[in-house]
Structure 1
Amino acid sequence: MFARETRWFPILAAVLIGAAMLSAPLASAQDLTKPAAPAEETKPTDPLGRETPEGLVRGLVKAMAEQDYARAAQYLDLGKVPASRRATQGRAIAQDLQQILDQGGWIASGRDLSGAPEGNLDDNLPPERERFASVRTPQGTVDLYLQRTKGAADGPDIWLVSQASVAQIPDLLGRVKAGILERIIPETLTGPKLWGVPAAHWGALLAWAAISFIVASVVLLSIRSGLRRFWRDRPDSVRMRLLEAAVPPLRINVAVWIFALGGIYLGVAVVARQVFGFLAEVVGWIGLGWFLLRIIDVAATVVIAKVTERARVEALSAIRFFRRVAKFLVIAAVAIVILDAFGFNVSAGLAALGIGGIAIALGAQKTIENLVGSLTLIADHPIREGDFCQIGDKMGVIEDIGMRSTRVRTLDRTIVNVPNGMLSSMQIENFSVKDKFWFHPALSLRYETTPDQIRLILIEMRAALYAEPKIDPSIVRVRYTGLEADYLKIEVFTYILVKDMNEFLEIQEGLLLKFMDIVNTHGAGFAFPSQTVYLARDDKPQAEKARIAAEKMAALRGLPPDDGANETEAHDDGAQTGDTGETDTTPEESKGGALTTLFRRIKLRL
């Protein structure tokens, strides 16, 4: 039902989930205190990673996972605790904080925590203050905050759990109720611990993830069934297509929402919830991306159907192109969010792209050229998918116009991929946009064909063309055009008013067969490349025809015919007797004028 571009999306989701499962425990429970690489080697850093709110939370959760409460106390602002009791009381406060978060609290996700030393300046809080956790109590939700303070004398400013939040911990400990797991599973049955979390908690989260997916599936399938009965639409209607496209990915997103909400009431350890929360966040973004891809497919399919119905096939390539662009943007956005969730500094990466933009542009010249070529093809639409074209020396059907190249199915049934940058500058002959076909055969008749035979053949060929209903009557030309080296040439020029190649070939076949019948009917034949040699005796020119020709030339010169003949005889006599060829002037010379005299002298000289 949907385009093939989305069939690999579940595979991508599985790969990302697997990577998240492998890296999430390490990122959330073991390497959470690993500080970011300093921008400069000489710049002092905090060994516990407390320079940013995100670094503090990671370090705190790692210390809790390892049950190292002495190190966890270093993430708390114990300024109101006497220095003599900070070591002992700090460990107790850190342990109480973990118990509060385990029973009814949740920590903000990595995307909500700022990775900048100055924190998030757009959260409607004072610049030196950040919310990092919330605790559910019978009286309502209580937020816990971080405070930016001065660090060591030669060190950077650091973030700590604020004194006000530390002071609330004893009170919250008495107000938070035990979770479901703590009430139904005795501590002795929780099993061994993994990353500081009882095995029962990990198993409970896995079971709850499966239950969440089942509940989400049942709810959404029930809603889909109810909407089908209420709408009573055809399966191919727009609303039903959107509904069918939305249900599978929405099951993932709803399951993630149910899982996140129920995890708090289960009372699962906050460390386990952080790991599964990270996985749930990744899966949720993948589900959202899948949802958007399917909606884009449905929207594009509906628009393509409308365009095809209105015979605006030139817009099909543009719709498919922009569908690919929209999918690319969705996948890129989801990938950026997931990379950010994994802890990659996406902002720094984008900044590096700005710095290295020139180098990237130089290295991606062909890619950019092909992309611009794609836009040119979309704007000018010289070709469309399904068109039969000749591109360079290749002829075939356009199967797909992609973002980088165009795929052509040749007559040999092979696939040729032409880069769009090259294609936009090539000469393209598109046979599919013909409004009519040019019919222009040339007939070669034998030289034995008489003029009367040619006249009859021309008349009947014109009649055959006019009798064909698909012939364009405004231009029908059948002419005898000349004497070639070995044949007599008849040319036909007209158009056949069809757009389909097969129909044109059928009509052309019928007309050519009619022409052959006409030629054979009148006793003529078609010439082959040949030469005819005639053998005969060499006859002298006929004297009578020579005399008539002489009289015509004499008349043209203005001389009496007899004088010309006598002068010729006198010239012949003089030649035989050795006369010089000169003659006396006669009275006719003075009467005929200078021109007559000139002609006569030239004649005698010759």
Structure 2
Amino acid sequence: MILRAKRFLPYLLLLLTLVLSANKVSAQLLGSAKTTTEEPAKIPEDSLGRRTPQGTVNGFIKAIGEQNYLRASQYFVLSKRSYRKTAERIRIAKTFQQLLDQGGNLSPSSIISNKETGRTDDDLATGVDLVGNISDNKTTIQLYVENQADDSQPAVWLFSAETVEAILSADITGEKTFLDRVLPKALKERKIGNVPIGHWAVVVLMTIVSYLLSRLLIFAIGFVIQKVWKKADTEKGTAIINALSLPVHMYLTVILFVAFTQRMGISIVVRQRFSIIIITIGIVAFLILLWRMTDFVSMYARSRMSRRGRISAISAILFLSRTTKAAIVFIGIIAILGIIGVDVTAGLAALGIGGIALALGAQKTIENFVGSVSLIADQPLRVGDYCRVDDIKGTVESIGMRSTTLRTSARTIVTIPNGQLSASKIENFAHRDRFIFNPIFSFRMETTPDQMRYLLVELRTLLYSHPAVLNSPPVVRFTGITADALKVEITAYIEAVTFEISQEVQEDLLLRMMDIIEASGTSLAYPSQTLYMARDTRLSDEKSAAVSETVKKWKENNELQLPKFDPKRVEELKGSIKYPDDGSYNPSPDGKLNL
């Protein structure tokens, strides 16, 4: 039995060795896995909140408000000698508070940087921020906070050694603030929020005084403006004064309040708490100013467009006014939230993404709005204009923010999106300053040269004489001989206000030209493609002989007005034709031509 046990002993030892080795390897693997997932050590929070410039200023104000000057001294860069002396540390903190109460200012908490790196957009060195100043009749002390840690250590912001040295060198012996001299002892000893009750009472009193005094100043300024500015009593002047009165009143109240509280020696604790309210009032006053100026500009633009008859522009002005007001409200909310300490970065990022999505979804709407703005600005067409857009002809009935409507000659309504309209070719017939008159006459092949000369001269004489034909030299030219006719082309411009009047003038010209053609003894040719089944009228020999005699006299007297008209003769002919002719209806009571 013993021999059998000895035989299995080496196998048992080998099995035990393998089990121990496995446990060791497993422990090593588990240990290595643990080290790879181990998180870096978290930087501990500073118990005094000195990781940022804002935390340092807020912590210091809280400490002196609780009159814990020993804790307040921990926000200063002190020498080792001063740090060891508790009395010295307390004296520095009290001196700093007294200087701030007498004439010091700290930047509002929301304006001071809340980042460990501090402000990087100023002209100061990296790790140094300006957080306020102390002013008296002699000097001005700039208050700096400085990061005392290097890149490998967490940030610790303290009032710099330069600031502490300036505070210690300031002479405040025997100086008391105005409130310390006038307030009764009871109002100074009793406190609310670690601030003497008398200071709170003076703050309320100064608020009322600042409001009433600013109101009096506004009244005086308004009286001076009424005397100096001549347009102050007009509608425009009254609107401007009303738009500026409330914002200026609010600004003056804030300025007077800050000046009074600083000069009287109100505790820096109270003033620092009120700083956010003061900045908020300033922002609200600026927003009210923008709102009222938007109303004024909108009212002025709408009245001006109404006087000019540009009714379509009023809707665009109203839309832009409402959009501007919405932007003012949005910016105001963001600014006020930022002032009271709310982080709006994430909200702005979300709004930016939402705005992009909204813009993509409303792409066509935005395109139509931009198109309507360009139509109103460029004015290629107006309500009542007859125009052609691509292959559509019609009269413009309305120009809206999304589309423009045209009424065609078939009395149908065509609606065109403004985005498409602004990119189309628009031909506006209503803006023509003249109307072309361009008939082409085809005379019979039997027309003699003298008859052609007579026609050219008389047709030009008619155009020069007619008062409705523009003074620019008309063109009457014998342009060619075709297989079936002699071509004469006329080009002139009719001066008329509307298309209907130009049609009336064109009708009169054509009738008079028919008379000239009849008097010449020739006639218009019929197209060779047309089979004219009628007895041919023989040309008048008498009229032909008379025309030849007339042309002969022109030549003998050097009066043939070909190829050019004599300028003196042109001046004689201008306006010599009576239009409308005798017997025609003329709506003008004085008998003058209404073109």
Q: TM-score, normalised by structure 2?
A: 0.54
- Residues 455-494 of structure 1 mapped to structure 2, 5 A cutoff: none
Per-residue CA deviations over 1:508-542 (Å, capped at 9, x if unaligned) read xxxxxxxxxxxxxxxxxxxxxxxxxxxxxxxxxxx
Is contact 1:317-1:378 (8 Å) kept? no
Taking a change above 3 Å as real, the CA distance of residues 127 and 234 of structure 1, as seen in their structure-2 partners, is closer
Instruction: Give the match for residue 245 of structure 1.
Output: 243
Conservation of the 8 A alpha-carbon contact between 1:103 and 1:176: no
Are the equivalent residues in 1 in contact too, given 2:225–2:232 (CA < 8 A)? no
Change (3 A) 1:251 1:72: same
The aligned residue for residue 71 of structure 2 is 71
Counterpart code for 2:93:
A
CA distance in 1, matches of 2:76, 2:96: 10
Structure 2 unmatched ranges of 5 or more:
1-39, 385-396, 404-416, 421-429, 431-499, 505-595
Distance 1:67 1:294, change over 3 A: same
1:240 partner amino acid = T
Check conservation: 1:108, 1:132, Cα contact below 8 A: yes
- Residue 258 of structure 2 is matched in structure 1 by 260
**In the aligned structure 1, how far is the partner of 2:189 from the partner of 2:294?**
48
Residue 339 of structure 1: aligned partner: 337
Q: Distance in 2 between matches of 1:208 and 1:357?
A: 43
Give the deviation of 1:168 after TM superposition. Answer: 2.4
Aligned counterpart, 1:304 = 302
- From the superposition, tell whether residues 306 and 362 of structure 1 become closer, same or farther in structure 2 (CA, over 3 Å): closer
Corresponding residue for residue 117 of structure 1: 116
String of CA shifts for 1:133-164, please: whole Å, max 9, x gaps: 2112220322121111117x985121100112
* Structural mapping, 1:265-280, within 5 Å: 265-280=263-278
Relative to structure 1, the CA distance from residue 53 to residue 284 in structure 2 (aligned partners, 3 Å threshold; closer, same or farther) is same
**Cα deviation, residue 48, structure 1:** 2.5
Write the mapping of 1:39-58 to structure 2, written as runs, cut at 5 A: 42-58=42-58
**Contact 2:141/2:166, CA 8 A, preserved across alignment:** no
Q: What is the deviation of 1:349? A: 4.3
- Find the counterpart in structure 1 of residue 292 from structure 2: 294
Change (3 A) 1:71 1:316: same
Letter in 2 for 1:271: V
Distance in 2 (alpha carbons) for counterparts of 1:211 and 1:107: 24
Going from structure 1 to structure 2, the CA distance change for 1:175 and 1:191 (only over 3 Å counts) comes to closer
* Match of residue 187, structure 1, among 185, 193, 200: 185
- Decide whether the 8 Å contact of 2:111 with 2:339 is kept in 1: no
Shift of 1:252: 0.5
Distance in structure 2 (CA, Å) of the matches to 1:257 and 1:368: 46
Q: Which deviations, in whole Å up to 9, do the C-alpha atoms of 1:46-98 show, x marking residues without a partner? A: 3322222112111111222222223222211123434532x443233222211
**Residues 130-209 of structure 1 aligned to structure 2 (within 5 Å):** 130-150=129-149, 155-172=153-170, 174=172, 177-190=175-188, 192-209=190-207
Tell me, what secondary structure is at the counterpart of 1:134?
A: strand
Matches of 1:146 and 1:214 in 2, distance apart?
Answer: 38
- Give the Cα–Cα distance (whole angstroms) in 1 for the partners of residues 296 and 173 of structure 2: 51
Q: Note closer, same or farther for the CA distance 1:337–1:358 as it changes in structure 2 (3 Å cut).
A: closer
Tell me the residue number matched to 1:98. Answer: 97
AA matched with 2:218: L
Shifted more, 165-174 versus 217-226: the winner is: 165-174
CA distance in 2, matches of 1:370, 1:173: 68
Contact 2:82 2:88 in 1 (8 A): no
CA distance in 2, matches of 1:167, 1:238: 58
Q: Distance in 1 between matches of 2:342 and 2:316?
A: 35
Distance in 2, matches of 1:154 and 1:138, equals 43
The corresponding residue for 1:215 is 213
Report the Cα offset of residue 45 of structure 1.
Answer: 3.7
Q: Aligned partner of 1:126: which letter?
A: A
Equivalence for 1:126: 125
Shift of residue 224 of structure 1? 0.8
Amino acid corresponding to residue 140 of structure 2 in structure 1: T
Q: 1:194 to 1:245 in 2, by over 3 A?
A: same
Distance across 2 between alignment mates of 1:148 and 1:359 = 39
CA contact (8 A) 1:77 1:160 kept: yes
Structure 1: distance between partners of 2:265 and 2:329: 35
Partners of 2:52 and 2:155 within 8 A in 1: no
Alpha-carbon distance between aligned partners in 2 of 1:368 and 1:42, rounded to the nearest angstrom: 48
Aligned length: 365
Deviations 1:453-506 (A, max 9, x none): xxxxxxxxxxxxxxxxxxx9999xxxxxxxxxxxxxxxxxxxxxxxxxxxxxxx
In structure 1, the residue matched to 2:6 is none
Q: CA deviation at 1:379?
A: 4.7
| SS of alignment partner, residue 67 of structure 1 | coil
Q: Is the 8 A contact 1:73 1:91 kept in 2?
A: yes
Q: Within 2, Cα distance between the matches of 1:81 and 1:111? A: 35
Cα contact 1:136–1:176 (8 A) shared by 2: no
Q: Which runs of 5+ in 1 are unaligned?
A: 1-39, 388-396, 407-421, 426-434, 436-471, 476-606
Does structure 2 conserve the Cα–Cα contact (< 8 Å) formed by 1:252 and 1:283? Answer: yes
Q: CA deviation at 1:303?
A: 1.4
State whether residues 177 and 264 of structure 2, in contact with CA within 8 Å, keep that contact through their aligned partners in structure 1: yes
Instruction: Write the distance in 2 (CA, Å) between the matches of 1:69 and 1:280.
Output: 28
2:368, 2:192 → 1: CA distance? 56
Say if 1:312 and 1:50 are closer, same or farther in 2 by CA, change over 3 A: same
Q: Indicate if the aligned counterparts of 2:83 and 2:89 stay in contact, CA closer than 8 A.
A: no
1:211 partner letter:
V
Shift of 1:178: 2.4
Q: In structure 2, do the counterparts of structure 1 residues 47 and 364 end up closer, same or farther at CA, with 3 Å as the change threshold?
A: farther
What secondary structure, in the 3-state scheme, does the structure 2 residue paired with 1:59 have? helix
Quickly say closer, same or farther: Cα 1:370–1:207, change in 2 above 3 A.
Answer: farther
C-alpha distance in 2, partners of 1:318/1:61? 52
Tell me if the contact between 2:226 and 2:233 (Cα under 8 Å) persists in the aligned partners: no
Counterpart-to-counterpart distance in 1, 2:174 and 2:134: 8
Change (3 A) 1:189 1:45: closer
The more displaced of 311-320 and 163-172 is: 163-172
Distance (Å, rounded) in 2 between the aligned partners of 1:254 and 1:368: 45
**Structure 1 CA distance for aligned equivalents of residues 243 and 138 of structure 2:** 42
Mapped partners of 2:278, 2:232: distance in 1:
36
Pick closer, same or farther for the CA change 1:424–1:260 going to 2, 3 Å: same
1:80 and 1:41 map into 2 onto residues whose CA distance is 30
Aligned to 1:540: none
In 1, Cα distance between equivalents of 2:354 and 2:327: 23
Contact between 1:147 and 1:160, CA under 8 Å: does it hold in 2?
yes
1:131 and 1:144 in contact (8 A); partners too: yes
* Root mean square deviation of aligned Cα: 4.0
User: In percent, how many aligned pairs have the same letter?
Assistant: 25
Q: Give distance in 2, aligned partners of 1:191 and 1:166.
A: 29
**Structure 2 Cα separation of the partners of residues 343 and 335 of structure 1:** 12
- The structural deviation recorded for 1:240 is 3.1
Q: What CA deviation, in whole Å up to 9, does each residue of 1:532-578 have, x standing for no partner?
A: xxxxxxxxxxxxxxxxxxxxxxxxxxxxxxxxxxxxxxxxxxxxxxx
DSSP-derived class of the 1:170 partner: helix
Change (3 A) 1:368 1:236: farther
Matched residues in 1 for 2:218 and 2:166: separation? 41
Deviations 1:247-282 (A, max 9, x none): 122100111011111111010100111122221111
Secondary structure at the aligned position of 1:299 is classed as helix
Contact 1:260 1:277 in 2 (8 A): no
Looking at structure 2, the residues matched to 165 and 302 of structure 1 have their Cα atoms a distance apart, in angstroms, of 54
AA partner of residue 277 (structure 2): L
